[in-house]
């Protein structure tokens, strides 16, 4: 049995939304009801589904092909009653009362205690709370780009490097069709950012860079405080093919200036849609022929590189677009992600 602890996607569409609101109300009223998602029932999900819920859905579906799996929401309180042959697979939570903290830190023995979560380490305070859990865990599956993997020795995770297996994030490309099939003329190309405005996202770097590109179209979709010099298009938008096609008419390049970000899914989504990507190594993606590398400190250099993209021939942009799409089709897949997880668990699950 695998006890899988991750963020459970709430129902967002259809009649299941009303039904489960009633279910939740009855639970809060003191009526003891089983957790509706324990055996993998996840109704009313939008398409496309956002991370981290995509991880929950895809990994649960994959693992139960091989062994029984129970699903727990990552902010549940209590402790899992695991047997000596059971496996714990879960995302750390900072609340000491949560089910993952209580289960990982307890002396109760199970077959394997495994953590799985996005790992980055340029802002160590973000993940400081995970260190006692990593100490107690048998394995750690770190969702991270190659940049963070290559620098593990220089991080606060270094003492446990021997426990850590890196995972590349994944998307389902069928949900992100190739829509960027042509580019605007030189000098009229736009820059797009999709993501939140939090410290690790480096939006101050984005703002300073875009200030130097004031004459060009710039846009942003995401939550948080306003980003100066980058007009917000929406706090949230359902990234349907129709909506993204409209973005592709206006914008030509996807820009991300994260300073400490494990493996942003939005970069993979942008590649799948056909947008050439410009991002910092600290976004996790680096040394890739399909990516224009930006800096977290050299604003002038960033502006120069992004300005150069204004004058890249259409044929070369088409090539970059197609190479990015192939990359997510062949490497950043759920089959690759989930099979890597199962390869780490299989000897303990079936042994």
Q: Does the N-terminal peptide bond of residue 67 adopt cis geometry, omega within 30 degrees of 0?
A: no
Count how many domains the chain has: 2
User: Could you tell me if 208 and 114 lie in one domain?
Assistant: no
How far is residue 185's CA from residue 58's CA, in Å, rounded to a whole number? 40
Predicted confidence (pLDDT) per residue in 103-129, tens digit: 999 867 899 999 999 999 999 999 999
Alpha helices in 131-218 (DSSP H): 131-136, 146-150, 203-211
- CATH number of the domain that residue 268 is part of: 3.40.50.2000
How far is residue 335's CA from residue 318's CA, in Å, rounded to a whole number? 27
The token pair that represents 38 in the structure block: 């324990």
User: Could you tell me if 156 and 190 lie in one domain?
Assistant: no
The total number of residues shown for the chain amounts to 351
Cα-based distances in Å from 55 to 25, 69, 246: 27, 15, 28
pTM score, two decimals?
Answer: 0.93
pLDDT by 10s per residue, the chain, length 351 = 999 999 998 877 776 667 666 766 666 666 666 788 899 988 888 889 999 999 999 999 999 999 999 999 999 999 999 999 999 999 999 999 999 999 999 867 899 999 999 999 999 999 999 999 999 999 999 999 999 999 999 999 999 999 999 999 999 999 999 999 999 999 999 999 999 999 999 999 999 999 999 999 999 999 999 999 999 999 999 899 999 999 999 999 999 999 999 999 999 999 999 999 999 999 999 999 889 999 999 999 999 999 999 999 999 999 999 999 999 999 999 999 999 999 999 999 987
User: Could you tell me if 157 and 227 lie in one domain?
Assistant: no
Predicted confidence (pLDDT) per residue in 145-160, tens digit: 999 999 999 999 999 9
User: Could you tell me if 202 and 325 lie in one domain?
Assistant: yes
Alpha helices in the chain (DSSP H): 16-28, 53-63, 99-105, 131-136, 146-150, 203-211, 241-250, 265-273, 299-309, 314-330, 334-350
Share of the chain above pLDDT 90, in %: 84
User: Could you tell me if 182 and 283 lie in one domain?
Assistant: yes
Residue 32's domain comprises: 2-170+333-350
Contact between 312 and 174 under an 8 Å Cβ cutoff? The reply is no
């Amino acid at each position: 049995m695998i006890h899988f602890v991750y963020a459970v996607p709430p129902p967002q569409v259809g009649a299941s939304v009303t039904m489960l609101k009633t279910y939740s109300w009855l639970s809060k009223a003191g009526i003891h009801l089983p957790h509706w998602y324990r055996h993998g029932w996840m109704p009313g999900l939008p398409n496309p589904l956002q991370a981290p819920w995509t991880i929950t859905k895809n990994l649960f579906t994959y693992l139960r092909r091989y062994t029984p799996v129970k699903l727990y929401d990552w902010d549940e309180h209590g402790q899992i009653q695991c047997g000596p042959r059971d496996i714990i697979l879960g995302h750390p939570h900072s609340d000491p009362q949560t089910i993952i903290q209580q289960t990982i830190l307890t002396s109760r023995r199970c077959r394997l205690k495994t953590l799985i979560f996005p790992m980055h380490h340029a802002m160590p305070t973000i993940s400081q709370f995970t260190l006692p859990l990593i100490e107690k865990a048998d394995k750690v599956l770190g969702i991270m780009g190659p940049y963070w993997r290559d620098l593990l020795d220089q991080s606060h995770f270094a003492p446990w490097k021997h426990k850590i297996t890196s995972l590349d994030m994944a998307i389902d490309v069928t949900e992100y069709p190739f829509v960027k099939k042509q580019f605007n003329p030189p000098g009229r190309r736009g820059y797009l950012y999709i993501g939140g405005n939090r410290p690790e996202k480096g939006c101050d770097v984005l703002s300073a860079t875009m200030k130097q590109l004031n004459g060009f179209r710039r846009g942003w979709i995401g939550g948080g405080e306003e980003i100066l010099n980058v007009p917000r298009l929406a706090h949230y938008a359902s990234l349907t093919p129709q909506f993204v096609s409209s973005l592709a008419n206006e914008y030509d390049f996807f820009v991300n200036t994260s300073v400490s970000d494990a493996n942003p899914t939005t970069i993979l989504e942008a590649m799948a849609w056909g947008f050439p990507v410009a991002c910092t190594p600290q976004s996790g993606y680096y040394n890739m022929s399909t990516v224009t590398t930006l800096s977290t400190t050299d604003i002038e250099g960033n502006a120069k590189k992004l300005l150069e993209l204004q004058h890249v021939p259409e044929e070369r942009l088409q090539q970059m677009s197609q190479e990015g799409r192939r990359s997510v089709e062949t490497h950043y897949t759920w089959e690759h992600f989930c099979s890597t997880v199962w390869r780490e668990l299989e000897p303990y699950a079936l042994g």
